[in-house]
Amino acid sequence: MNTEISGIILMFVLTVVLAIPLGRYIGKLYNGDKTKLDFIFNPLDNLFFKLSGIKADKEMNWKQHLVALLTINLVWFLFSMLILMNMGWLPLNPDGNPSMTADTAFNTGISFISNTNLQHYSGESGVSYLGQLVLMLFQFISAGAGMAVCAVVFNAMKERTTEKLGNFYNYFVRSCTRVLLPLSIIVALILVFNGTPMTFKGKDQFISVQGDTVNVSRGPAAAMIAIKQLGTNGGGFFGVNSAHPLENPNYFTNILEDVSIILIPIAMVFALGFILKRKKLAWVIFGVMTVGFLLLLSPTVFNEMKGSSNIAAMHIAQPLGSMEGKEVRFGPAASAYWAITTTVTSNGSVNAMHDSLTPLGGMSAMLGMMVNSFYGGVGVGFLNFYIFIIIAVFISGLMVGRTPEFLGKKIEAKEMKIATIIALWHPFVILSFTALSSYLFAHDPKTYAAWLNNPGYHGFGEMLYEYTSSSANNGSGFEGLGDGVPFWNITCGIVMLLSRFLPIIGPVAIAGILAKKKFVPESAGTLKTDTTTFGIMVFAVIAIIAALSFFPALALGPISEYFSK
Amino acid sequence: MKQHILPALKLTAVTIVFFMGVYTLFVWAVAQAAPNKGEGETISVNNKLVGYKLEGQKFSDDKYFWSRPSAAGYNAAGSSGSNKGTTNPDYLKDVQSKIDTFLVHNPTVKKEDIPSDIVTYSGSGLDPDISVAAAKIQINRIAKTRNVSEEKINALVETQIQKPLLGLFGTEKINVLQLNIELDKLK
């Protein structure tokens, strides 16, 4: 078999094999069951709670959970602005990098608290080491916050009637210390021993074999890269992210980093099965997600390995495939696999430049973010999927003339209204902002000439990709876009902020309202949700919402690009 | 909201100390046992620092194996891809000129044998590797420039091929810096 194809099969199989036990472990954590690691983590967590004056056993209802989440995020946002705008004169800045301007700091701060990690700066020159460490902190706590709200929804889905849904801080701290921390330590140490730097020394200088003087950026990179991959963050230490040879030194680390991208998102699905004691439901959800994932992955791998038809027209060889924007040590198959894993999960790290993917490869990456729930971000990916489940339950209930019930709770008008608004929010915000920027560019191409790095359909694709990535809280980009200007900083900042918190508030509200309702035991009239038929129904809902709302925009971008050649 | 402000502030402070401080220092401390203390592995020739093991550098002389085109000019203080779409007409002209240049310097090479990686930009602008095919088509030029037999250089290239991981996963590749250092040793 082709060694590139066997490489990506290995990555996927390895991820699933690791995700099943990890999911069981995460399930135990959120249930409050005992685990083998309690002897280390109980004292650690208690120290966190004691120092913060938090009573971790005080139960909250869904509204209190959201207030706790939003309050702590406000604190994080203010803290990020403070550091990013002052890091120039603060310590840990051996390269003398400047502080950020207000609009870049606004964008970057929101980007990291919202788990997006869209970067309108380059790590080598745009932040100090202190800035990097602060951003790394947000990579832990924004991921932990996403997992915590997911735990709230899991808890609310249990078969009982209650308003008490656990303690937000408890879920949050547990997610950070017991899941993200140990995994990050393992990944970071493996990276360090493969050559990724972890030093506080500044740039080094040498004279190359040919006699050029070269400066080399370094820094405390390994610690950040680990959590960047695991927490579906994606904000790299260096400008080109995991395409950088220090950030991702070889094929082995590429496997490690790529497995880390989808490990926790998949594990969360299995955690759900464990918590609800409904393994079959978990497998149905995993199945739907995996079918969607493979449908995006296969054409991308095929197109990238086949190579660019425009390059082929120049009559040179493409033995590997399309190599523009890719690294030889990964090759097109592993680059395509990364492009899809990173976009279906809201991670957003890259090991190849997405702007230079073949037209259809770039489209699959965009579609992954447009759906945003084929695995999805840590925690929040399941919340997006939950919305689609609610809609599918309602529609299929109406189709067969049964009361729409999900896990013993009746779904009524109020929940449906919330679910519909949240499902439509994502396409609405992406398309309206893309329309706005396209309008500006089309009416004054001279003023905005610096925006686009490519003409025509592909240029439109750069703008569409940027807002899709912002709204999906992904953070990757068609990086040719000249996005380091106030217009993009501010509009993307607003999109990231709203598209982080509305899709959290909606599902938590629905789950909270449902949890309070009377539990109706399963009967012959109940619509079964852990069947293949229902899985197909959910998939259809996702396909219709994504296809119908985004198809026109994709037709103007990558599809036209593909056919025009 | 009021009752949450104080816990939020305190908890944030604790996470700052723990994740920015303790976690970072732990990884840093273990890194002291890693190759070159986690400062990036370097390569020296005759006790002179000539580069970083993992980072590619510019090779454009006829006597060396060329590395891939770099949008960052192999300036490792930054990193960048071209971010050009594969259908962009200006970009395609750029690639065409790289093919032409390559053919001028390698007159014995047939155009259809040029592998695309040697005329397209890498993702990082610091790609340390080229494909095996990209090395092989440069052998004739280097043999002539250096006045060494093609067989000898071909044998050297063969020793520098890095197989896929465990022979099963990933691509074959050649590290350009390593290859050129060995080339200079060849007499």
Residue with tokens 């380091």: A484
CB contact under 8 A, B123 and A355: no
Would you state the structure tokens that stand for residue A182, as one six-digit string? 């140990």
Partner residue facing B117 (CB), from A4, A72, A323? A323
Integer Cα distance of A198 and A220 in angstroms: 4
Give which of A73, A324, A460 to mutate to test B binding, by max B Cβ within 10 Å: A324
pLDDT computed for residue B35 by the predictor:
86
Give the pLDDT score at A464: 94
Query: Which residue in B61, B85, B99 is closest to A454 by CB distance?
Result: B85
User: Both ends of chain A: CA-CA distance in Å?
Assistant: 31
ipTM value of the model? 0.94
- Residue-level pLDDT at A108: 93
Asked if B52 and A311 come within 8 Å (Cβ–Cβ), the reply is: no
pLDDT value at residue A445: 87
In this structure, the dihedral spanned by the alpha carbons of residues A409, A413, A415 and A418, taken in order and rounded to 10 degrees, is 170
CA dist., res. A231 & res. A342, Å (int): 11
Residues from chain B that touch A329, judged by Cβ atoms under 8 A, are: 127-129, 170-171, 173
Q: Which two tokens stand for residue A291?
A: 């079918």
Distances from the Cα of A98 to the Cα of A19, A92, A112, A482, B7, angstroms: 41, 12, 19, 20, 32
> What is the Cα–Cα distance from A373 to A546, expressed in whole angstroms?
11
Strand, helix or coil for residue B129: strand
Side chain identity, residue B125? G
Residues of chain B with pLDDT under 50: none
Please, where are the H alpha helices in A307-455?
A: 309-312, 331-344, 359-371, 380-400, 413-443
- Among all chains, which residue has been given the structure tokens 């046992």? B33
Q: Does A496 touch chain B (CB under 8 A)?
A: no
Contacts of A324 in chain B (CB under 8 A): 82, 84, 86, 116, 120-121
What pLDDT does residue A265 have? 94
Which of A200, A233, A325, A258 minimizes the C-alpha distance to A18? A258
Q: What are the extents of the domains in chain B?
A: 1-39, 46-185
B150-176: b (≥16 Cβ within 10 Å) or e: eeebeebbeebebebbeeebbbbbbbb
CB–CB contact B170 A329 (8 Å)? yes
- Non-local CB neighbours of B36 within 8 Å, separated by 6+ positions: B42
- Strand A409-410 relative to strand A405-406, pairing: antiparallel
A334 with B170: CB under 8 angstroms?
A: yes
Of B14, B83, B131, Cβ closest to residue A453: B83
Q: Which residue has the tokens 């006829």?
A: B62
For B142, the token pair is: 């280097």
Contact A4 B170 (CB under 8 A): yes
Please name every residue paired with A406 in a beta bridge, in sequence order, or none if there are none.
Answer: A409
Range of the domain at A550: 3-564
DSSP secondary structure letter of residue A418: H
B86 with A52: Cβ contact below 8 A: no
A316 and B CB contact within 8 Å: yes
Q: Is A310 on the interface with B (CB under 8 A)?
A: yes
CA distance A438 to chain B (A): 18
3-state per-residue secondary structure call for A220-278: EHHHHHHHHHHCCCCCCCCCCHHHCCCCCCCHHHHHHHHHHHHHHHHHHHHHHHHHHCC
Per-residue confidence of chain A (565 residues) as pLDDT tens digits? 688 899 999 999 999 999 999 999 999 999 988 988 889 999 999 999 999 989 988 999 999 999 999 999 999 999 999 999 999 899 999 888 999 999 999 999 999 999 999 999 888 889 999 999 999 999 999 999 999 999 999 999 988 888 889 999 999 999 999 999 999 999 999 999 999 999 999 889 888 888 889 999 999 999 999 999 999 998 889 989 999 999 999 999 999 999 999 999 999 999 999 999 999 999 999 999 999 999 999 999 999 999 988 888 888 989 899 999 999 999 999 999 999 999 999 899 999 999 999 999 999 999 999 999 899 888 898 999 999 999 999 998 888 888 888 888 888 889 999 999 999 999 999 999 999 999 999 898 888 888 888 888 999 999 999 999 999 999 898 888 888 889 999 999 999 999 999 999 999 999 999 999 988 888 877 888 888 999 999 999 999 988 789 999 999 999 999 998 6
> How far is the CA of A348 from the CAs of A365, A378, B69, B99, in angstroms?
10, 13, 25, 33
Quickly list DSSP for A152-217: HHHHHTSSS--S----HHHHHHHIIIIIIHHHHHHHHHHHHHTT--B-----EEEE-TTS-EEEE-
Collapsing DSSP to helix, strand or coil, B175 comes out as: strand
How many whole angstroms separate alpha carbon A124 and alpha carbon A96?
11
What's residue B1's pLDDT? Answer: 67
Q: What element of type H or E holds B49?
A: strand B48-52
At B42 the three-state DSSP class reads strand
Specify the number of domains making up chain A: 1
d(CA A134, CA B17): 11
Q: Do B10 and A67 touch (CB under 8 A)?
A: no
Contact B40 A189 (CB under 8 A): no
Residue A548: the pLDDT is 83
Checking DSSP bridges between strand A213-216 and strand A204-207, what pairing results, if any?
antiparallel
Q: What is the pLDDT of residue A547?
A: 78
CB pair distance less than 8 Å for A311 and B86:
yes
